[in-house]
Structure 1
Amino acid sequence: MSASDDHKRLQLALEAAGLDLWENDLVAGKVTHPAARTFRELGYEPQEVGDNLAFWLDILHPDDMPSVGAALEAYRAGRADNYRSEFRLRAKTGEWTWYANYGKVMNGAADAGMHRFIGVTFNIDERKRREEELARINQLLSTQNQQLDQMNNHLEKLSTTDPLTGLYNRRAVNEHLHRLVSVEQHPSGLLFVDLDNFKKINDLYGHDVGDILLCQVAQRLQSCIDSSDLIARFGGDEFVLLIRAPEPAGSSLRAHLEALCARILEILAQPYLIGDLQLHSYGSIGVACFPDDGWTVDELTKRADIALYRAKHKGRNLSCFFQYSMETELRYQDSMETELRAALKTRQLELLYQLQVDRHLRPIGAEALLRWHHPTRGLLNPMEFLPEAVNTGLVHDIDKLVLDTACATLGKWLHDPALKDMRLSVNITARSFEDPAFVQTILRLLDKYKLPPGKLYLELTEHIKPQSLPKAARVINQLRARGVRFALDDFGTGYASLEALKHLRFDQIKINSAFVDDVAENAVSQAIVAGVMTIANAMGIEVLAEAVERHEQLQRLTQHGIQRYQGFLFGKALPGSVIEAAIRNSDSEQLPP
């Protein structure tokens, strides 16, 4: 087989493989065998190509020349086993097509230099297009990932930042606090800061002013803490500070927190300037310390909140550190509320009745006294549970029960000849007296039990605040018009009683037990009783002395002109059926002289 036949066979094999054979003489700069197929693909005729390397260089993409030259230089210098390069050639239409070259010097023994440079060219345009498309897609994905990262960072910031003040929010505080107690375990203080009169400012001036005030509060709080500390807004007007113990470790955390609380309260109490407004607000602070007050996030936040509750209960512009007795007290209050609710449902609350007598010691009425038959603690008087009833709001339900029971008793007495002239006094808390539905509640009961005028006496058991006097006057006047009578209880214990007597219409004054107790031997108490009688006589108001327990007291009170009495000397508080039976079976001679 001839060399010509071998060459043809090789040419066929290369064409079948999509390869285009070429040979160049690099020394002479001549093309000894052009890559004919490649040039045909590009639209060039053989005569256009010629036998000079200059044509190939002319249609080579300028940007690819450096890489082609570098590949050739690497091969000539022996750094590569063969010549390999990828490049773009310009078609006759002006479009660019990607090709690859693989080549090698095939010198004979007599050859010197790179005379016979033989290789193949093949079309890689489709692959390069795919690579470019893939690179474009990867670039697009990379851009999208960057945007997604930015969005995630923004969302993360939103999820941990209060949008109004720019401070951290509840979630961020919990995360930092969790890391502190579980990882760092560095002694720290958790401060809950609450504005005392923010709701009033919001109601008077609107939420826009309230929002500006909150931002100013945030700025003031930030000015009080170190860079290592954290401040957040939990929501509303409640802020939280996480304060690390100062260095060195031996420094007192509590002393540091006490000084910080004083500084915060001072700066929060300074006036706020919002436009033309000058506003005033104050803060309350509750403090819990790690690890003394808890080892978990829940324990610390709960106890800082308990301390804040105590600070607000004590008054405004105060700070309070958590004590375990506070938690015990709250548990007691919660238990008391649960038990009170059960007591209302199961009728554990009962009215007892203590007689009131005239100067002849004849029964003229009674005072209804509330008692709780507690299943484990026995019989409780109101002082042992009524404060908790007020705090929990159950006092309204209790007052309704007391009023309904008392009016039902009065209604029953009206049909008993021995009891029909009796009147009944009922204690009313200031909280219920200020209830907008109070008047309607009383009027409904008067109608329900068909009570005539002068039978029901309502005793105000707490001092009425001066600012509440106009409203109290309207309530009293409305009910007096329907025959309800009013008594001022505990008279003589303060200026507030005289102020109430000046502005409100009372039918009866009850002299406080503090003056009755030693009236037999104490000249000051005697003078006070005499003064009360002078005031009452001038105003046409009857006087009743309560807590009368001894004959000497009764004698001295009688000498001062008092004609109505109540106390153990005439009988203790008894169930309704017992006191009713005693009145039916008694007459004036059988009562104590």
Structure 2
Amino acid sequence: MLNGGPASDDHERLLLAIEAAGLDLWENDLVAGKATLPATRTFRELGYSREEVGDTLAFWLEIIHPDDRPAIENALVAYRDGRSDNYRAEFRLRARSGEWVWYANYGKVMSGSVETGLNRFIGVTFNINERKHREEELARINRLLSAQNQQLDQMNAHLEMLSGTDPLTGLFNRRAMNECLHRLTRSAECEAGVLFVDLDDFKKTNDIYGHDIGDILLCQVAQRLQSCISADDMIARFGGDEFVVLIHGRGEGGVRTILEAACERILNILGQPYVIGDLLLNACGSIGVACFPTHGTTVESLTKRADIALYRAKRQGRSLYRFFDSGMELDLYNRDSLEKALRAALKTRQLELRFQLQVDRNLRPIGAEALLRWHHPVRGLIGAMEFLPDAVASGLVHDIDNLVLENACATLGKWQHDPELRGLSLSVNITARAFDSPSIAPAILALLAKFGVPPEKLCLEITEQLETRSFVTANTAITHLREQGVRIALDDCGTGFSSLESLKSLSFDQVKIDGVFIRDINTNTVSQAIVAGLIGICRAMGLQVLAECVETPDQMEYLLEAGVDGFQGYLFGMPLPCAVLEAGVRDAPQSQRG
């Protein structure tokens, strides 16, 4: 071939193309172990001179990273054995500066055979350092992302655990219990019971001792509940002081027998005293029970009916357990209707006061008791005892107490401007629960000031038996009111041990003997003994005694001889509208006026 011919031009163009592509052409004689065409561009990039490189393969092998040599050998063996169409390897070469630079080698044998051995080995080398660094950066980012994903998985697992756990007690929460109940309701062969457990008067504990003590109490309750069930059962805190227990039916005796035994255990252990620091607290509970599938086959029906049963347990005295029955649902509906009507009654002034006269030993009017009546648009006049229990349960009793107190004080204020009536006092029934509020005493004193009423003209009758643990808060309000002149009476005295406990622990001005002892006072020796004992206690304590429900002259005569100070009952007048009572007092003979 002549110099400068077409073949020479093609060779030149090929070399230019290779150079433009950033490729470095090389050729090695593997038999002689020499580089017949060194990769001069590569060595120049690495900072080596032609003299340093020489024409052997020794220098090349010397600057290859030790970790990359196995990969090159494997690539050569794969090519030699026919497992690869050509030789391909990626490796790092050490630059004069000491830096490691990534390169790639692609090559093929141009002469020789497997039998005669490889000799003329031709290929290209090109710089892949930037690509490799990008890949390493991507790998680093992927490793970082993988680590972050692992952390996220751990966090999600922790959040999943927290999403089903009550953070205060460590029990399951409402969500976890509902999921378990959903699984239960999809099982056709399992019997179980859902127990709603609620602490009695837990709010009072929070109010008196603070939420920190209340939280510790809830944790102790959770621990006690856990000791009452087996490992197959489940407890969750639904919120506040409400816990839900799921107990599966197992063994002999039926699911109801198992649930009754569980309820007994729970009530017994919850009723034991709680020690929190220097405090010794009591916290009984009430339980409502619904059975699957007898009382419901959905989560909604089971939880609703267990809650209804709990409501019945609380209404019937607390520290009880009750199983759901269909009559409870109807009763709740009726009570809900009554509550709605009562709310409407408060807004439309259907509640009114009737006044029953009170007289002294000389039959002179000394005052009256304000008795609440509901002028129902359909049922007519309804006595307070027919709706007050529901008012207490629904929380409306506070609004009713406020209404009664304001109307009574307004009436007393009007009487102060009438010479014939200003001497009368007015007794007002107020539930013991009203004394749970720290604002009760200031509110009453503000009403007296608003209507210009001398405090001694108002007598507050406590109409509900006070529990022992209520004495501390009640006595604070009672003492403050008595210091300002308001009189306090203990109503229905003699009907239970709590009456004597109240007399011992609280401050009163007057005691009203319950009518149950007055009706047969002339013939029943037990009633006579109880009345005599109460009068003796009151005399020793300097308290005034008033007998209510006096209906006959014989009853009055007996009570006069026994030493009663005042009387109230049908013998002296029925509960009357205010105007009728006022007219009766004005029309009374002069000798019977106070």
Answer with 64-73 or 427-436: which moved more: 427-436
Provide the aligned C-alpha RMSD in A: 5.0
Corresponding residue for residue 128 of structure 1: 132
| Structure 1: distance between partners of 2:219 and 2:417 | 68
Letter in 2 for 1:123: N
Distance 2:249 2:200 in 1: 29
CA shift in 2, pair 1:265/1:449, >3 Å = closer
Other structure's SS at 1:122 match: strand
| Residue identity opposite 1:61 in structure 2 | H
Structure 1 counterpart of 2:385: 383
Aligned partner of residue 145 in structure 2, secondary structure: helix
Q: Is the 8 A contact 1:476 1:505 kept in 2?
A: no
Supply the distance in 1 between the matched residues of 2:258 and 2:140 (Cα, whole angstroms).
59
1:25 aligned to which of 22, 29, 47:
29
Are the equivalent residues in 2 in contact too, given 1:476–1:504 (CA < 8 A)? no
1:102: which partner in 2?
106
Distance 2:493 2:114 in 1: 138
Provide the rounded CA distance (Å) in 1 between the counterparts of 2:41 and 2:70.
25
1:512 aligned to which of 511, 515, 522: 515
Distance 2:142 2:156 in 1: 20
**How far apart, CA to CA, are the structure 1 residues paired with 2:207 and 2:453?**
43
Q: 3-state SS of the aligned residue for 1:80?
A: coil
Q: Which amino acid aligns with 1:62?
A: P
2:65 paired with 1:65: no
Contact 2:355–2:370 under 8 Å retained in 1: yes
CA distance in 2, matches of 1:387, 1:414: 34
Aligned residues of 2:432 and 2:464 also touching (Cα < 8 A): no
Q: Percent identity?
A: 59
- Aligned residue number for residue 591 of structure 1: none
**What amino acid does structure 2 have at the position aligned with 1:11?**
L
Give the conservation status (yes or no) of the 8 Å contact 2:440–2:477. no
Which residue does the alignment assign to 1:546?
549
Residue 428 (str. 1) matches residue 429 (str. 2): yes
Other-structure match for 2:116: 112
**Gaps spanning 5+ residues in structure 2: where?**
none
Aligned to 1:40: 44
370, 373, 390: which is aligned to 1:371? 373
1:159-198 residue pairs with structure 2 within 5 A? 159-178=163-182, 180-181=184-185, 187-196=191-200
| Equivalent position amino acid for 1:381 in 2 | G
Distance (Å, rounded) in 1 between the aligned partners of 2:277 and 2:451: 59
How far did residue 380 of structure 1 move? 0.6
The answer on whether the counterparts of 1:355 and 1:366 sit within 8 Å (CA) in structure 2 is yes
Distance 1:519 1:93 in 2: 120
Structure 1 residue 72, shift from structure 2 partner? 1.4
Q: Which moved more, 1:532-541 or 1:148-157?
A: 532-541
Quick one: which amino acid aligns to residue 382 of structure 1? A
Which of residues 400, 424, 429 is equivalent to 1:398? 400
Instruction: Provide the rounded CA distance (Å) in 2 between the counterparts of 1:323 and 1:497.
Output: 35
Structure 1 residues 15 and 168 mapped into 2: Cα distance closer, same or farther (>3 Å)? same
Does residue 231 in structure 1 map to residue 269 in structure 2?
no
**How many angstroms does 1:191 deviate by?**
3.4
Q: Residues of 1 paired with 2:70 and 2:80: CA distance? A: 15
**Count of residues in correspondence between the two structures:** 576
Question: Alignment partner of 1:87: what SS?
Answer: strand
Cα distance between partner residues in 2 of 1:569 and 1:222: 60
Which amino acid letter does the alignment assign opposite residue 352 of structure 1? R
Q: State the secondary structure of the residue aligned to 1:134.
A: helix
Shift of 1:173: 3.4
Distance (whole Å) between structure 1 residues aligned to residue 115 and residue 23 of structure 2: 26
Q: Which segment drifts farther, 23-32 or 126-135?
A: 23-32
Decide whether the 8 Å contact of 1:488 with 1:508 is kept in 2: yes
| 1:153-552 equivalent positions in 2, closer than 5 A | 153-178=157-182, 180-181=184-185, 187-196=191-200, 214-243=218-247, 245-246=248-249, 252-269=254-271, 282-312=284-314, 314=316, 317-354=319-356, 368-406=370-408, 420=421, 423=424, 426-431=427-432, 434=435, 461=463, 474=479, 478=483, 493=495, 512=515, 515-516=518-519, 522=523, 524=525, 546=549, 548=551
User: Does the 8 Å contact 2:64/2:93 carry over to 1?
Assistant: yes
| Separation in structure 1 between the aligned mates of residue 361 and residue 217 of structure 2, nearest angstrom | 64
Counterpart residue number, 1:82: 86
| Other structure's SS at 2:117 match | coil
| Alpha-carbon spacing, 1:388–1:16, altered in 2? closer, same or farther (3 Å) | closer
Report the more deviating stretch, 125-134 or 348-357. Answer: 348-357
Using the alignment, how far apart are the partners of 1:48 and 1:16 within structure 2?
A: 26
CA–CA distance in structure 2, aligned partners of residues 276 and 559 of structure 1: 52
**Matches of 1:433 and 1:352 in 2, distance apart?**
21
Partner of 2:146: 142
Please give the alpha-carbon distance, in whole angstroms, between the structure 1 residues aligned to 2:280 and 2:528.
51
Distance 1:41 1:227 in 2: 73
Q: Structure 1: state its 5+ residue gaps.
A: 589-593
Cα distance in 2, alignment partners of residues 134 and 427 from structure 1: 83
**3-state SS in 2 of match to 1:390:** helix
Q: Which deviates further from its counterpart, 499-508 or 19-28?
A: 499-508
Amino acid at match of 1:351: L
Shift of 1:381: 1.0
TM-score, normalization by structure 2: 0.75
SS in 1 for 2:172: coil
